Amino acid sequence: MKQAIKLPNLGFGLGLRPEHYESILTTKPDIDWFEIITENYLIPGGKPLFYLDKIRELYPLVMHGVSLSIGSTDPLDKHYLKQVKELIERVKPKWVSDHLCWTGVQGHNTHDLLPVPYTKAAINHIVSRIQQVQDYFGQRILIENVSSYITYKQSEMSEWEFIAAIAEQADCLILLDINNVYVSAYNHHFDPYQYLNDIPIERVQQFHLAGHSNNGNYIIDTHDAEIIPAVWDLYTHACKRFGDISTMIERDDNIPSLDALMTELRYAREIRGC
């Protein structure tokens, strides 16, 4: 087994959102780091990059993409990769991540994070593509488990076995989204604790926490609400298993004040015992 080279823990962060740009610059809140959505900063010039340049002088940043489409059968988008690499050179993030999914086919972007079948053939395909991306960026990337609402009859293994195999064979790291584990476990009736227990400890670099919408028979990962107690319980278990892992909270809709998000972040610190 290859030895993962994990990066230093950054502490507790938030997703950087335009609603909070001014508050961050004026109050300099007690937040350890920020995660940016890569695609929000690929257009040259404008206010997003103006604020990003100012905020990156104050806080460490990581980049989190939604368009790599690593599971697609389309060729890797060289223009997109070039844009991301240029942003990496500008921002100098601590690391770069994207999702273990596909987002489109035949050049059409669905703007959704779609699951892949958990097969050996899919592992080989995705591992090759991750290796190409890592070679181009000159660094390991993190892959994130997505929330899902369908399964494939072709699947040959569990999701956690699939992501673990890809991380080992591609020699990449894992962004473990605790809320996504909970959402998918609820939707597909598996044990979220078994999922965490079977993910290789040495590959996990970052945690995501978020809220979701419960529709009774299914849950949608909406990032528009507070984190629920069951997800906090799962995070507590993750902290015990994986140890000192960089943790951040995502909020993409119904965005509250920075103070409200910092209250949740302080609770994450308490769980970790920091």
Per residue of the chain (274 residues), what is the pLDDT tens digit?
A: 445 578 999 999 999 999 999 999 999 999 999 999 999 999 988 999 999 999 999 999 999 999 999 999 999 999 999 999 999 999 999 999 999 999 987 777 777 899 999 999 999 999 999 999 999 999 999 999 999 999 999 999 999 999 999 999 999 999 999 999 999 999 999 999 999 999 999 999 999 999 999 998 999 999 989 999 999 999 999 999 999 999 999 999 999 999 999 999 999 999 998 5
Q: How far apart are CA 212 and CA 193, in angstroms?
A: 19
Which two structure tokens, joined as six digits, stand for 212?
A: 């979701």
Q: What is the pLDDT of residue 85?
A: 98
Q: What is the pLDDT of residue 1?
A: 43
Q: How far apart are CA 19 and CA 21, in angstroms?
A: 6
Provide the 8-state DSSP code for 203: G
Phi, psi dihedrals of residue 220, rounded to the nearest 5°: -115, 135
Q: What is the pLDDT of residue 255?
A: 94
Distances in whole angstroms, Cα of residue 10 to Cα of each of 45, 80, 145: 28, 27, 20
Q: For the chain, give every domain's residue range.
A: 12-272
Please provide the CATH number assigned to the domain covering 12-272: 3.20.20.150
Q: How far apart are CA 204 and CA 133, in angstroms?
A: 19
